[in-house]
Amino acid sequence: MPAIMRVDKKNKHMAYTLATIRQSVRDYLDDDEYSAALIDQAINDYQQELFFNYDLRLAETRATVALSASSSTAPLPDGWYKNIALYNITTDHYRDLTPYERDADLFQRDYIDVTPDTAAPLDWCVFGNNFEFQAPADQDYTLRCLYLKYPDLLTNDSDIPVVPEQFREMMKLGAVERLFRREDEYGLSNSERVILSGMETSFVKRYGRGQVSSKPHVMRKA
């Protein structure tokens, strides 16, 4: 891998896809033969790392969860990694279940033997890949889960990252930094990490959950 890098300018106005990010990484490394598989893995790993390290509005989504009668568990939604809220939205049984979440260890202690008496879902925890409730359901229930979801892996050339296009440079450098580490080029890796740190700070300020909008306030005329 060459020690001297150059910033790719020819891809500046190209579409924002896995293929164009891959090419921008090759341009930056000045190596058009660099393994596409390794670059794609680095791109995916970097995007996954961002969502693992930060709670982002970009990860927010919702899903319907079915809790079947006589069951005390329901599967977590696809890609789930952190809960925001949980609601029972069954007709005539609406309830916000969010405040009733319990620590998994304490829940298992208190409900070591799930009562055979059926009931509506109330106390719950996340254990393994499931929601667990305090008792078997006395009927079928429909729940709505608001949660943070890991981004899907980018596999096709036309796939578009969840990270917005305004941060395409960050996506490129994030992949480059991982490739340098793979090649044991720690000096170059550290140099990219310094640049990435500032970019990630701006990214989190813009898209982190709970961040205040950075839009300018417009003064109204009296």
pLDDT tens column, 97-114: 999 999 999 998 888 776
pLDDT at 34 over 80: yes
User: Cα torsion for 106, 110, 114, 118, to the nearest 10°?
Assistant: -100
Note the pLDDT of residue 13.
55
Two tokens, residue 46: 């970097």
pLDDT confidence of 14, banded at 50, 70, 90? confident
pLDDT at 221 over 50: no
Give the containing element (helix H, strand E) for 169: helix 168-182
pLDDT confidence of 218, banded at 50, 70, 90? very low
pLDDT at 155 over 90: yes
Mean pLDDT of the chain: 89
Closest CA to 175 of 158, 204, 154, 156: 154
DSSP string, 17-72: SHHHHHHHHHHHHT-TTS-HHHHHHHHHHHHHHHHHHS-BGGGEEEEEEEE-TT-S
Please tell me which residue, 210 or 88, carries the higher pLDDT value. Answer: 88
pLDDT confidence of 171, banded at 50, 70, 90? very high
Residues in Cβ contact with 105 at an 8 Å cutoff, skipping those fewer than 6 apart: none
DSSP code of residue 119: B
pLDDT at 147 over 80: yes
- Return the percentage of the chain with pLDDT > 70, whole number: 87
- Round to whole Å and give the CA distance between 214 and 123: 38
- Round to whole Å and give the CA distance between 23 and 25: 5
